[in-house]
């Protein structure tokens, strides 16, 4: 089958199933993955994963992760660091550590497989959770900001761990490189924010020129690609580079209006092409796991779903108030793009096989369906008095 026809069939199927699932209040990502599973070798065997489709998947992932970074702010992270880290600890770090230990000691997985699978399963997805937070109208108040800050921490840790484990020979080098880059990132962010008016004026002058927005958008994409390429050269996944590049682009630097235009433009492209095609391609590599991995799947679901939710419930009750415990647990149980992205990266790097990859896919889908319904905020204007 030709490339164009393969893309056409994958995209149409992913868009239709995604919209169908959305209609029934199920995350579109579930339908998009299932579209790939149906079209792939596991069911109809119409389309098989190949190097060209893998390349398209990587390009799609770059734009998905870039937008995730653009949607977030280092300021949100810094203002709520204490409570956000505590929630990240209960929702991601502790459950992932427990899953890693069980996978290693009881299922015979290597240390790297155990850690990477647990990270992919346990990491909350900022794309899914951002949509949930906006849907409940709490993105501008303290509760929403703390939840988002927590997910930024979790996702950054997940991307960092994934990058460090891509090559065991450069593990220490990878960790040191990421730490240094994070320091430089925050320093650059501080400089940009301290000269915010001058930077905004610079972008405004460019935008006022003929084809100015094209120059700005092109520069942002090129900048993201440069940072991603630097990460690839030093042996770290480009995904982390795209995420960090996006974090530098915020309304305090380029202005609210331009930020809105950029976010809407990237969002429409992502929603209509990159996201559905990425998840559909991800579904092509799905296989039915053996009994051993099905048992592991159940264990992962129990820990990442039930155990993690209980810890979140008590932690959020202590930090934010008992009236928000259930809802915070529901928000932080959101799974999706980030976990699948990590699974795709480690599969393509040969760090896991297709059975483990498929185990991650199934677990992510089940958790994305089971946990968010816990959210029970009664009002879209909720505004708790939360102070770090």
**Residue 204 corresponds to which tokens in the numbers above?**
């405004």
Using 50, 70 and 90 to split pLDDT, how confident is the model at 32? very high
**Residues 54, 22, 31, CA angle at the centre, nearest 5°?**
35
Selection from 11, 3, 64 nearest residue 39 by Cα? 11
Q: Given this model, what pLDDT does residue 387 score?
A: 45
* 105-109, 246-250, 328-332: least confident range: 246-250
Q: Given this model, what pLDDT does residue 261 score?
A: 84
Q: What are the tens digits of pLDDT across the range 345-363?
A: 899 889 999 999 999 999 9
Selection from 306, 383, 360 nearest residue 116 by Cα? 360
Q: Given this model, what pLDDT does residue 388 score?
A: 44
12-23: burial string, b at 16+ Cβ within 10 Å, e else: ebbbebbeebee
Q: Is a pLDDT exceeding 80 seen at residue 19?
A: yes
Using 50, 70 and 90 to split pLDDT, how confident is the model at 167? low
Q: Given this model, what pLDDT does residue 381 score?
A: 43
Query: Between residues 181 and 279, which one has the greater pLDDT?
Result: 279
pTM (predicted TM-score): 0.84
User: In a 3-state reduction of DSSP, which class is residue 85?
Assistant: helix
User: 159 vs 58, 72, 162, 234, 375, CA distance in Å?
Assistant: 15, 15, 5, 15, 27
Query: What's the chain's length in residues?
Result: 388
Q: How far apart are CA 1 and CA 274, in angstroms?
A: 21
Q: What is the DSSP string of 90-133?
A: IIIIHHHHHHHHHHHHHH---HHHHHHHHHHHHPPPHHHHHHHH
Q: How far apart are CA 179 and CA 163, in angstroms?
A: 12
Q: Given this model, what pLDDT does residue 156 score?
A: 82
362, 180 contact by CB (below 8 A):
no
**Residue 337 corresponds to which tokens in the numbers above?**
């793009």
DSSP 289: P
Q: What is the mean pLDDT of the chain?
A: 86
Q: What are the tens digits of pLDDT across the range 74-88?
A: 676 777 888 999 999
Q: How far apart are CA 73 and CA 149, in angstroms?
A: 9
CATH number of the structural domain 3-374: 1.20.1530.20
User: In a 3-state reduction of DSSP, which class is residue 76?
Assistant: helix
Q: Write down the domain spans for the chain.
A: 3-374
User: In a 3-state reduction of DSSP, which class is residue 288?
Assistant: coil
Q: Is a pLDDT exceeding 50 seen at residue 63?
A: yes
User: In a 3-state reduction of DSSP, which class is residue 383?
Assistant: coil
How much is the CA Rg of the chain, to the nearest whole Å? 20
Q: What are the tens digits of pLDDT across the range 243-283?
A: 888 877 876 667 778 888 888 899 899 999 999 999 999 99
**In the chain, % of residues over pLDDT 70:** 93
* 104-113, 180-189, 314-323, 372-381: least confident range: 372-381
Q: Given this model, what pLDDT does residue 40 score?
A: 95
Using 50, 70 and 90 to split pLDDT, how confident is the model at 205? confident
H/E run at residue 254: helix 251-254
């Amino acid at each position: 089958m030709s490339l164009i026809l393969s893309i056409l069939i994958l995209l149409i199927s992913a868009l239709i199933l995604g919209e169908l699932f959305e209609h029934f209040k199920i995350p579109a990502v579930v339908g998009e993955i299932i579209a790939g599973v149906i079209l792939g070798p596991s069911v109809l065997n119409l389309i098989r994963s190949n190097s060209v489709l893998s390349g398209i998947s990587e390009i799609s992932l770059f734009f998905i992760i870039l937008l995730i970074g653009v949607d977030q702010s280092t300021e949100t992270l810094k203002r709520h660091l204490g409570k956000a880290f505590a929630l990240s600890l209960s929702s991601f770090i502790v459950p992932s550590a427990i899953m890693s230990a069980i996978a290693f000691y009881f299922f015979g997985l290597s240390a790297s497989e155990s850690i990477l699978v647990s990270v992919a399963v346990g990491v909350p997805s900022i794309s899914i959770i951002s949509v949930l937070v906006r849907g409940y109208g709490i993105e501008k108040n303290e509760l929403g900001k703390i939840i988002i800050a927590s997910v930024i921490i979790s996702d950054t840790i997940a991307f960092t761990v994934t990058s460090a484990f891509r090559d065991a020979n450069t593990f220490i080098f990878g960790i040191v490189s990421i730490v240094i880059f994070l320091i430089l990132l925050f320093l650059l962010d501080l400089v940009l924010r301290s000269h915010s008016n001058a930077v905004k004026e610079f972008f405004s002058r460019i935008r006022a020129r003929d084809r100015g927005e094209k120059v700005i958008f092109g520069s942002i994409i090129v900048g993201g690609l440069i940072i991603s390429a630097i990460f690839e050269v030093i042996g770290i996944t480009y995904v982390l580079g795209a995420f960090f590049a996006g974090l530098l682009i915020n309304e305090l630097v380029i202005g609210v209006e331009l930020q809105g235009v950029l976010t809407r433009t990237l969002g429409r492209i992502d929603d209509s092409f990159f996201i559905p095609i990425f998840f559909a391609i991800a579904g092509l590599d799905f296989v039915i796991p053996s009994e051993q991995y099905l048992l592991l799947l159940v264990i992962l679901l129990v820990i990442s779903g039930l155990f993690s939710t209980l810890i979140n419930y008590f932690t959020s009750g202590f930090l934010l108030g008992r009236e928000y415990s259930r809802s915070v647990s529901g928000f932080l149980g959101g799974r999706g793009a980030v976990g699948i992205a990590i699974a795709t990266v480690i599969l393509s790097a040969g760090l896991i096989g297709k059975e483990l990859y498929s185990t991650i896919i199934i677990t992510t889908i089940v958790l994305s369906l089971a946990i968010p319904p816990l959210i029970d905020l009664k009002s879209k204007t909720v505004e708790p008095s939360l102070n770090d």
